Structure 1
Amino acid sequence: MKTAVSERRGLAPEALVDELKVRARVRLNRARREGSAGATRLRDVLHEVARELGFADWEHARRVLSGLAVPGDDLGGFWHVPRTGILLHIWFSEYAEARAVLEQQGQGFLLPYRRQCFIVQAPFIEALGLSPDDPAWVEIGRDLVAAYGTPVWRALAWQRLHAPPGDL
């Protein structure tokens, strides 16, 4: 039987992008069956799916979810839920400052948002459809910015993609 850690390690780097492609194809095929696709192409639906997940367009989503972004790149709003405005967030324009605050607090979760980052507490992680008690958080020091592109980051991103629809 696989453990949670071995399952995390086994997620292929292209799995997140492939999931978005599948979603787009399913959506386009459904629209075609229903006769509502019109002149819509797969490319159009890929952009639509990407924007719904907090990215500017398909290429932006592909780059970020493939782990190809570099420090300073726009990482999109994938790790943010707009309806969480009532929850406490501490925003930072510089990662180093955010990391220092996270270490000083000894609690919280450091997440990326576009070219910035923010620290949140467990209720925000739950609003993302994730468990704040997942051992993956301890493994990455509760820092999704530093963990970007790693197998554990991919596993948490996969969970985020598969969160109940109301949580995305």
Structure 2
Amino acid sequence: MHLSKRFAASAMGGFKINGPPRIGKGPMESEEDKKSSNEASLPQPTQAGRIETCMELIRQAMRCLENNDEDCVMKLIEELVRANCHNGNAVGKEVADGTRGIVHKLWLSYSGDDEHRCRLLMLLRSLGASKGWVRSATRISDLRGSKQMVKEVWD
């Protein structure tokens, strides 16, 4: 049997080479695909817009730190983390370092005040900041008591 006849015979045996499947094997349709959506999705900020927002929040946080207004700084840190200003992949290293610097300065202002430090750690944890980022921001990798505090909050 020639090669072309053998190939034609095997093609007749069950494999359909071209065209859609014969027995209901097409893509599944969902109800969501059938409905036309009248809702407009909210526009996502561009990286440039996000950077401007983050830089403004950092400036405000610096002003609050200069005025020793710790509640204001805590609120702005919350906004910074919610806006993803701590993520270097989203806003760039300089902006993320600015956010980290704000957290570090607030951490230093709480020197000896474990209650406020714990409150800051719990806020950062509730916002989804990673333990590694918090340790980097507070620079507590070698301080025994603070290291224990981070462990207690995250574990």
Report the TM-score when normalising by structure 1.
Answer: 0.22
Instruction: Name the structure with the higher helix share.
Output: 2
Structure having greater relative contact order (Cα 8 Å, sep ≥ 6): 1
Largest Rg, 1 or 2: 2
